[in-house]
Amino acid sequence: GAVVSQHPSRVICKSGTSVKIECRSLDFQATTMFWYRQFPKQSLMLMATSNEGSKATYEQGVEKDKFLINHASLTLSTLTVTSAHPEDSSFYICSARAWAGGFTGELFFGEGSRLTVL
Amino acid sequence: DAKTTQPTSMDCAEGRAANLPCNHSTISGNEYVYWYRQIHSQGPQYIIHGLKNNETNEMASLIITEDRKSSTLILPHATLRDTAVYYCIVRALVSGNTPLVFGKGTRLSVIA
């Protein structure tokens, strides 16, 4: 399948600091990427839709000033958790839809980034 | 998107076929059935999708009933590495970029 890569896979930070997570589509271009969050033993929850060259669209209850999303190119979207607190500790997953290269719109997901805020 | 219903959990013996059911009785004519799985601490992995015909790929087979109100994902020879949460998602294949909405899925445990 198409490849979506996230970095870092794990990050530990102190409360109050900011953390940036990168999401790259390696073999296709993605005008739109999606960011999900997953707490232990729960399903994935959509946080926001990242659009290349424009502002992200956030789901209800997700603070746009806390979770900054930048989608500056067709292959890269970043999620920055600003002033992180322990309750932000979670598994963050990005995804992108592949239309080219034989794919017909399947969503592919990154490996996920586990954030632990101390 | 139509709602889906899956069993919370299932066990399967290693080497046997794993048959994971999904009910989607309110599915619309333009909605596809997608299956993804999530192995612990990894991102979801696309498995297969179909509209009304049965589909097969290197990972699994998808059997959709004639009335399209239910489907079954079949892993023909389950291995321990197939232990994961399996998500059945129904949505239209749209040209726009819309996300997938995940339910709770079925936790499949493959037992040696």
Of residues A91, A92, A109, the one with CA closest to residue A40: A91
Tokens of B25: 């009785």
Q: Output the CA–CA distances (angstroms, integers) from residue A82 to A12, A43, A65, A90, B9, in the order listed.
A: 14, 24, 8, 14, 37
* pLDDT attached to residue A81: 97
B41 to chain A, any CB pair closer than 8 A? The answer is yes
Closest B-chain CA to A37: B43
The residue among B94 and A115 whose pLDDT is bigger is A115
* pLDDT attached to residue A106: 76
* pLDDT attached to residue B2: 67
Name the pLDDT band for B91 (thresholds 50, 70, 90).
Answer: confident
* pLDDT attached to residue B6: 97
Q: Residue B99: its chain A contacts at CB < 8 A? A: 34, 46, 49, 95, 107
Measured from the Cβ of residue A14, the count of other Cβ atoms closer than 10 Å reads 8
CA–CA distance, A62 with A79 (Å, rounded to integer)? 13
Residue B58, amino acid: E
Task: Say if CB A116 and CB A89 are below 8 A apart.
Answer: yes
* pLDDT attached to residue B98: 78
Strands B84-92 and B55-56: unpaired
The residue among B12 and A102 whose pLDDT is bigger is B12
Are the beta carbons of A107 and B99 separated by less than 8 Å?
yes
B102 to chain A, any CB pair closer than 8 A? The answer is yes
The one-character DSSP state at A87 is G
Are the beta carbons of A106 and B49 separated by less than 8 Å?
yes
Q: Residue B43: its chain A contacts at CB < 8 A? A: 4, 6, 93, 95, 109-112
Closest B-chain CA to A44: B102
Contacts of A110 (CB under 8 A, 6+ apart): A4, A5, A6, A23, A93, A94, A95, B43
Are the beta carbons of A110 and B104 separated by less than 8 Å?
no
* pLDDT attached to residue A1: 67
Per-block average pLDDT, block size 10, for chain A (118 residues)?
Answer: 89 97 90 93 93 90 94 92 96 86 78 96
Closest B-chain CA to A93: B43
Closest A-chain CA to B94: A105
